[in-house]
Amino acid sequence: MDLVLKNVKKKDLPLLKALAKRLNCEIEVQDKPYNPEFVKEILDAEQSIKDGKGIKMTIEDIDKLWK
């Protein structure tokens, strides 16, 4: 049987590992990686800013976006 625990705090992980060992169970820790497409989009955006392709906006310009 598999048991999945979500949102476990790092400070609680050693306790869970000790409990699993005591009960002769395996424990597997998996960190969720970021979506590769999302990471590529962010890196491309950062590179375009470095290449001078970004735009500068004033507070007034940003304020107009909300209206």
Q: Does residue 16 contact residue 5 with C-beta atoms inside 8 Å?
A: yes
In angstroms, what CA-CA distances link 46 with 36, 42, 50, 57, 63? 15, 6, 6, 17, 24
Domain count along the chain:
1
* pLDDT tens-digit map of 24-59: 998 887 777 889 999 999 999 999 999 999 888 899
In terms of residue numbers, what domain contains 15?
10-66
Whether residue 7 has pLDDT greater than 90:
no
Asked if residue 4 is part of any domain, the answer here is no
Instruction: Give the C-alpha separation, 37 to 17, whole Å.
Output: 33
Whether residue 15 has pLDDT greater than 90:
yes
DSSP string, 48-61: HHHTT------HHH
pLDDT computed for residue 58 by the predictor: 92
Asked if residue 1 is part of any domain, the answer here is no
Length of the chain, please?
A: 67
Asked if residue 48 is part of any domain, the answer here is yes
Asked if residue 46 is part of any domain, the answer here is yes
Confidence of residue 22 (pLDDT cuts 50, 70, 90): very high
Asked if residue 50 is part of any domain, the answer here is yes
pLDDT computed for residue 5 by the predictor: 84
